[in-house]
Amino acid sequence: MWRAFTARRIAAAAAYGGGGITALGGITFGLVVAEARLARRLITATPGGDPPVADGLYGAAHGGVPLSLVMIGDSTAAGLGVHRPDETPAAMLAAGLSAIADRPVRLTNVARSGARSHALSGQVDRALRSPGAGGRGPDLAVIMIGGNDVTGRVPPAESVRHLGRAVERLRAAGSQVVVGTCPDLGTVKPLMQPLRYIARRASRQLAAAQTIAAVERGARTVSLGDLLGREFSADPHSMFSADRYHPSARGYAAACAAVLPAMAAALGLEPDVDDRLLGDGVLPVYLAAAEAAEAPGTEVHGTAFEGSERGPRGRWAALLRRRAMPSREAEAAPDPAH
């Protein structure tokens, strides 16, 4: 319950222009700062270069008018840590969406490594000018942002305010929006205690507040959290890239399996099935956001309850744990046909 109220306070501060609460409160920073600097040196000791460019047309063999997909956000959305275009999350999502829709998908990736939430405004500008958008917003925008805000100690309310504005602009332009919320940085191997605990707490706090802001504005969210925590712990060499911070191709594929069903549902390609509802099913959005932050792989989207979209405590929201959608290998080949 405390996490739900914290997320609600952050979202409220974002809405009214306040700075919100900080992730670390009154904790003494000396040891934490020293450990953060050490972790940063360890992470950046193995440079990975720029992420591969995966923009292009996927599933051209299907025929028909292509769907337009834009990836927005930070290094996770950009695909830093892998070496081939088909290993990036954008390419995997475009190929998977094409297979599900039985239509081509034109992918544009405007995400940038190192981006914080304040960069979303410029990225949305580019998204609205992307190929295939046809003078309006893309059919679907996927946003992955937040990790750099946590490591940069950006006030959560400030981060959420930028995300909320980005979602508003995309929805006003006619785009469906899916937000992959802030991952749990407490799973990153170079982090030691107490930095690991602080990173986990700050990440989940931001993820819950992101969910409130995004769902209130008509987006769907998917909690990435420590979705890959067990896999990373059991086999870090194959799930992490060489920098020990960003996922490998296998790690990105696991995250994409959680995001793709929400993308399909946003475009009306898969219904919201009631038997996939989690817990109490329909909750005020701030309570749904808190539950999702603790249950990686959970989708949250706005819904109606007893004929109304809003209750006395805000927007109604549904929590779903979706199964990974099947794809046909031949149709989901991830190499783009330019």
> d(Cα 323, Cα 321) in Å, to the nearest integer?
7
Which residues touch 235 (CB under 8 Å, ≥6 apart)? none
58, 337 in Cβ contact below 8 A? yes
152, 115 in Cβ contact below 8 A? no
Q: Pseudo-torsion of CA 49, 72, 180, 187, nearest 10°?
A: 20
User: 136, 292, 287: which is closest to 220 by C-alpha?
Assistant: 292
> d(Cα 162, Cα 158) in Å, to the nearest integer?
7
> d(Cα 290, Cα 317) in Å, to the nearest integer?
12
Q: Is 246 noted as a catalytic residue in this protein?
A: yes
Residue with tokens 């332009």: 173
Strands 220-222 and 298-302: antiparallel
> d(Cα 137, Cα 144) in Å, to the nearest integer?
18
Active-site residue (options: 55, 74, 75, 175): 75
Active-site residue (options: 175, 246, 301, 327): 246
Q: Is 162 noted as a catalytic residue in this protein?
A: no
242, 48 in Cβ contact below 8 A? yes
Q: Is 86 noted as a catalytic residue in this protein?
A: no
One-letter amino acid for residue 231 of the chain: E
Instruction: List the catalytic residues.
Output: 75, 243, 246
